[in-house]
Structure 1
Amino acid sequence: MTTQLPDIFETRQAKAFRDALMAGDVEQAKKIEDHLLAEAATSPEDRELLADQLRAAMLFRAYVDASAAGDEAAALTFQGLLTTMCSPETVKTTLMSGLLYSGLELGSLPAKDHDHLTEWMNGADVGEEMKARLASITRTP
């Protein structure tokens, strides 16, 4: 099941970013990224962190969509872009966020995934609300 995102500016920009990358138009993808960051960043350091997070979120979403559509080639392309264009820490955070989202949507996670997410959350600064969300997900054998 694919979640339908609202048709808003940010969603359209994420799709345009994904389409530019798939077409090999890195210059256009960079323009889209710069435009979105100009709206949000408050300092050069903030901009770099937000750029990494934005890139990871858009690439991960593109990967999930391609996987759900059965387009293995596109999924592998987006997976490769995610791991080469984003910092390892941001990739890990993005993947754990996806795992949390999946668990919340399904109501459960396999024990291996639940344990991995629990371990990551215990070592990360995620706050009690996120830990409570994890606690609401059933750990299945």
Structure 2
Amino acid sequence: MTVTLLPFKAGLVVSAVLTTAVLTGVAVAIVKDRSQKSAVATAMTGGDETLAPAIFRRYGCSGCHTIPGVAGADGKVGGELNMVRERVYIGDGLNNTPDNLVRWIVSPTDFSKRTAMPVTGITETEARHVAAYLYAR
């Protein structure tokens, strides 16, 4: 059986194949980039980002912050927690380092008495998981 494509249809098929190939390449690059970011975040913080969404919910973070990838985390009180890894400063003017981020999450009032962020009771280990999540995005 021979299938003959008209030039117009052949062009559409080629276009669709090329578009699919490009999108697949982009998807692979995104996954690879995300995987690399995750590995770096884990190495930097000693945390496990997969545990963070439950921690965000348990401690009420999602009530104050908008957190990418966490369902229902659309709070408007605290800052939006996206692209944290690209920020120079976190919290109340702290240099953005993994240790500072963990310390800020555990006890923000140690750094700023006027912060709206409460001391939640989150442990250092849990804060490391949260930091890994934030640095991986």
Query: TM-score if structure 1 supplies the norm length?
Result: 0.26
Whose Rg is larger?
2
Larger RCO (alpha carbons 8 Å, 6+ apart): 2
Q: Which structure features the higher share of helix residues?
A: 1
